[in-house]
């Protein structure tokens, strides 16, 4: 019995040791699992720290076309990214005959080259013919338009929110435009001071409530896409007056501005070599002269209010792209200074 007892004790002891070993193995595995789970956030850390905005398909300083969701449907926007990855942006607005395939700043001027080495993104929306880049009261009733223009909403809400995903600031922007886009640039900056730090108007119509101006705009809009000015805003309604730089001039106080127009005298960019070219040049002279009359009236209003602006009023120049390219080059130092770019 003693031998049995002696032999059974080791057997019993062997069973107890095996159970302890299993327990130790269980806790070792549990510890390894816990450490693995704890390590997951650390391993995920670099991915979580990566920028949440989309990666540019082009390098810094490169050119890209984006399709931006909006209440008007997808809007094509041409972009030249800041040369050194900065967050500043310059919005370049087109004229009355804005096309649906390209923003004319990209092919009528050397704007891309002018800012190629600058740390500012060029933002060039495509489309908006005869829109004045504002929110219309209704679709145009004279050309079968199905949608209501909502360009101010797009340029100040939808587009900035989209570009913010690419690292473009919503508050460090400038805006510039010619003709229709010139008065629109001032309006956007006046009503959205949190977004725009500088505005430039090249040959803009800056007193659209002056006698005869509404009917002149009516004729121009019918010629450019058969758009109805009354669908944009009723005559001298609050919506119409809100668009008029002469009226909203007080809201431009302390905003850096570049305002240009010419006297309609033929210059180096006017070389008509056909009957069509001569007709277009005559129109360009008349349109620029009208812009200058508007600009002089606007200047008087601004001086009366004691509001400063940078004016550039050369004698030579017509309502045409060569001169707007030159004016953009003149405005460029002011724009970069305002944006700190």
The secondary structure of the chain, three-state, reads: CHHHHHHHHHHHHHHHHHHHHHHHHHHHHHHHHHHHHHHHHHHHHHHHHCCCCCCCCCCCCCEEEEEECCCCCCEEEEEECCCCCCCEEEEEECCCCCCCCCCHHHCCCCHHHHCCCCCEEEEEECCCCCCCCCECCCCCCCCCCCCCCEHHHHHHHHHHHHHHCCCCCCCCEEEEEECHHHHHHHHHHHHCCCCEEEEEEECCCCCCCCCCHHHHHHHHHHHCCCCCHHHHCCCCCHHHHHCCHHHHHHHHCCCCEEEECCCCECCCCCCCCCHHHHHHHHHHHHHHHHHHHHHHHHHHHHHHHCCCCEEECCCECCCCHHHHHHHHHHHHHHHHHHHCC
Q: Are residues 37 and 107 in the same domain?
A: no
Q: Is residue 56 part of a domain?
A: no
For all residues of the chain together, what is the average pLDDT? 88
Q: Is residue 55 part of a domain?
A: no
Residue 48's pLDDT is: 37
Q: Are residues 89 and 117 in the same domain?
A: yes
Q: Is residue 251 part of a domain?
A: yes
Average pLDDT of 308-337? 98
Q: Are residues 175 and 238 in the same domain?
A: yes
- pLDDT exceeds cutoff 70 at 139: yes
Percent of the chain beyond pLDDT 70? 83
Q: Is residue 240 part of a domain?
A: yes
Q: Are residues 121 and 220 in the same domain?
A: yes
How far is it, in rounded angstroms, from Cα 264 to Cα 282? 9
How far is it, in rounded angstroms, from Cα 82 to Cα 62? 8
- pLDDT exceeds cutoff 50 at 241: yes
- 47 — pLDDT class (breaks 50, 70, 90): very low
Whole-prediction pTM: 0.83
Beta carbons within 10 angstroms of residue 137's beta carbon: 15
Q: Are residues 35 and 159 in the same domain?
A: no
Q: Are residues 37 and 88 in the same domain?
A: no
Average pLDDT of 5-19? 42
Average pLDDT of 211-215? 96
Q: Is residue 100 part of a domain?
A: yes
How far is it, in rounded angstroms, from Cα 240 to Cα 71? 22
- pLDDT exceeds cutoff 60 at 15: no
Q: Are residues 36 and 133 in the same domain?
A: no
Question: How many structural domains compose the chain?
Answer: 2
Q: Are residues 3 and 150 in the same domain?
A: no
Average pLDDT of 128-157? 98
Q: Are residues 244 and 113 in the same domain?
A: yes
Q: Are residues 222 and 299 in the same domain?
A: yes
- pLDDT exceeds cutoff 70 at 44: no
Range of the domain at 76: 63-339
How far is it, in rounded angstroms, from Cα 178 to Cα 295? 13
Average pLDDT of 267-289? 94
Nearest to 244 by CA among 289, 190, 284: 190
* Contact indicator for 123, 89 with CB cutoff of 8 Å: yes
Residues catalogued as catalytic? 179, 288, 319
The dihedral over CA atoms of 286, 291, 294, 298, expressed in degrees to the nearest 10, equals: -160
- pLDDT exceeds cutoff 80 at 5: no
Residue 36's pLDDT is: 42
Q: Is residue 58 part of a domain?
A: no
Residue 28's pLDDT is: 55
CATH code of residue 149: 3.40.50.1820
- pLDDT exceeds cutoff 80 at 43: no
Average pLDDT of 257-284? 94
- pLDDT exceeds cutoff 70 at 145: yes
Q: Are residues 10 and 69 in the same domain?
A: no
Residue 60's pLDDT is: 80
Q: Is residue 301 part of a domain?
A: yes
Q: Find the range with the poorest average confidence among 32-46, 123-137, 173-187, 233-247.
A: 32-46
Q: Are residues 70 and 125 in the same domain?
A: yes
Q: Is residue 178 part of a domain?
A: yes
């Amino acid at each position: 019995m003693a031998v049995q007892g002696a032999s059974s004790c080791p057997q019993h002891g062997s069973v107890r040791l095996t159970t302890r070993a299993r327990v130790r193995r269980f806790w070792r595995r549990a510890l390894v699992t816990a450490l693995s789970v704890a390590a997951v956030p650390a391993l995920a850390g670099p991915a979580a720290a990566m920028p949440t905005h989309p990666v540019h398909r082009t390098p810094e300083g490169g050119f890209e076309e984006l399709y931006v969701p909006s209440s008007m449907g997808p809007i094509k926007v041409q972009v030249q990214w800041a040369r050194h990855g900065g967050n500043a942006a310059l919005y370049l607005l087109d004229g009355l005959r804005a096309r649906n395939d390209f923003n004319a700043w990209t092919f009528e001027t050397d704007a891309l080259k002018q800012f190629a080495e600058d740390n500012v993104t060029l933002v060039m929306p495509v489309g908006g013919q005869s829109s004045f880049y504002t929110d219309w009261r209704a679709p145009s009733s004279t050309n079968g338009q199905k949608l209501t223009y909502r360009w101010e909403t797009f340029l100040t809400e939808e587009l900035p929110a989209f570009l913010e995903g690419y690292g473009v600031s919503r508050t460090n922007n400038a805006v510039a435009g010619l003709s229709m886009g010139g008065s629109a640039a001032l309006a956007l900056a006046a009503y959205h001071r949190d977004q725009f730090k500088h505005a430039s108007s090249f040959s803009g119509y800056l007193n659209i409530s002056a006698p005869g101006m509404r009917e002149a705009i009516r004729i121009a809009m019918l010629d450019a896409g058969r758009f109805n000015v009354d669908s944009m805003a009723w005559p001298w309604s609050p919506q119409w007056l809100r668009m008029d730089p002469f009226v909203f001039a007080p809201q431009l106080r302390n905003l850096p501005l570049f305002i240009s127009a010419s006297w309609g005298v033929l210059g180096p960019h006017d070389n008509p070599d056909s009957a069509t070219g001569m007709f277009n040049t005559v129109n360009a002279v008349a349109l620029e002269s009208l812009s200058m009359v508007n600009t002089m009236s606007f200047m008087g209003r601004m001086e009366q209010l004691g509001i400063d602006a940078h004016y550039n009023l050369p004698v030579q120049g017509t309502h045409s792209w060569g001169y707007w390219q030159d004016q953009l080059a003149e405005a460029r130092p002011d724009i970069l200074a305002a944006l700190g770019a």
